Structures are given as C-alpha cells and as structure tokens.
Amino acid sequence: MPELPEVETYRRQFNKSVKGRKVVDVELLFEGVVRHPSPRAFVRRVKGKTLGEAERRGKFLIIPLDSGDILVLHFGMTGVLHYLDPDEERSPHTRAVLKLDDGRELRFIDIRKLGALYLVKGRDFSKIPELANLGVEPLSREFTLKRFTEAIGGRRQQLKQFLMRQDVIAGIGNIYANEILWEAGLHPLKSTADLSPEEIQRLYKAIRKILKEGVQLRGCSIEEFLDLYGRPGRYEERLKAYQREGEPCPRCGTKIVRITVGGRGTFYCPKCQPEPG
C-alpha cells in the first residue's frame, strides 16, 4: 500500500507537472472505483475543470478543482497514479483516466480494486470517514515529542499496531512501521504501556527519520509502487528489516526473523529488538 512517503511523492510530482491542467475528458474503465458521488455525476463534475494544488493527508491525495469540488484519491493496497502520453500502453488494471489539455493522461491503476476516488463539495470529508478522522501528520510541526508522549499515555497496545493507527498518526503502514521499529530498537509486540521515556523519544525520532528518508528517496517499490512518471522509488535500497527474513541485521549480524502481527508480515532483529518481558 502506498504510505506517507509514496503519496507525498505523488503530491510533489503532481504539483510540479500537472497542477493547473484542465480535464478535457474522463474515462471510467471500472465504475466501482468511484465511491462518491455516482460515476455519472463524477464524470460530469470533473470534466472541464482545472486541477489545483494537491495536498496530502496521511495516505490520501487531495486535489481541489476550480469549481470548489475536491477530488480525493486513496490508493488501497495496489493503487498507483501515472502521468503519461496517450500512446503509452495502458495497463489492463487501469480503472480511471483523466485526459488533460496538454494531451497527456492521468491514469489511476489498481490491480486489486481496493483503491477509490471521491468527489466532495468544499472540504466536507464526512463521506470519507477514514480521512475525516485522521490523526496528526508525523512530519508536521504539530507532531512534537510532547504530543507523541501524550498520545501514548494511557494506552496498552502492541507497538506495531499502534504505529499503524491512522486516527493517532496519519500515514504509517506496514513497510515503514517495520523500519521505524528496527531503527528504534523496539520489539513489534512490546506494549505502549511499557515504554520508558527514553524509548518513547527513540521511537519519536525514528518515526521522523525513517519517513523523511522515504520521502527523499521517492518511496519504496518493493511492492507495486511506481511514481507519477512510472519510475520505481529508491527506499527499497535502505530497507533494514522489511522482507529481509533470514538476512543478517545490518546493525549486529543476527538473522532477521518474520512473525505475523495483526495479519501482516512483521520483520525484526531478535537481538537489537529484544522480546518484551
């Protein structure tokens, strides 16, 4: 699933290459990709409109139109967004195409059909509860050590699952949760209630460091992610734990092991990230 660094990559590239373009036509190859309003209304309200400056909230890409409507994209597990010439071969998993006034196309591609497009009036995100209820942005000024400590206080939850709670911290998914915990030297099953002040500080610093690196390297393409221009991100080269089962830990040489937490593959070093208790 595209996480914060991948969606931030889309935001930056969109604002560089697509912002200000007019949508001359809309093609829905899979009408189910539009979750609100109806597919017919979506096409009518997007066609002929100019795309404004994109924002990002968590894993959502938010694009205002000059009509006052806002286009919201959520990429699900396998969604990608490409800005391509019309003669470039279309993926069989292309679900929606916005044809632009520069002759190019903005294509939403999604193998598993879990991604979604929404069109809302103003900033009324009530039709998208996952967006309306997002927590703090971890790379923002609002994400301070004090606020993070307060968010942990009183909770008793496994660290891996806590990091992926979008209503607490927006944008962290499975890949970066694994990398953050490795960086902080904390076991994924350790409880938030058992963290010392020093461990909370290590975790806070790891969140900001790993996500910043992910953004700088245009995301991670170990899964299906490709950037707006169809290029892979480079963060895969930095992975220390995720999908590294059986490989030596870059810090101590112990073999990385894999367990399942919340139904998701979880990777850690048993020496650097000792089991709780």
Q: Which residues are catalytic?
A: 2-3, 59, 264
At 124, list the tokens: 């009324």
Residue type, 56: R
H-run or E-run covering 268:
strand 264-268
Sign (positive/negative) of CA torsion 162, 167, 172, 173?
positive
Report the alpha-carbon distance of residue 127 to residue 120 in Å, rounded: 8
Nearest to 11 by CA among 3, 155, 210, 158: 3
Q: How far apart are CA 114 and CA 95, in angstroms?
A: 11
Q: What is the DSSP letter of 194?
A: G
Q: What is the rounded distance in angstroms from the CA atom of residue 125 to the CA atom of residue 116?
A: 14
End-to-end CA distance of the chain: 32
Residue type, 30: F
Token duo for residue 21 = 């373009």
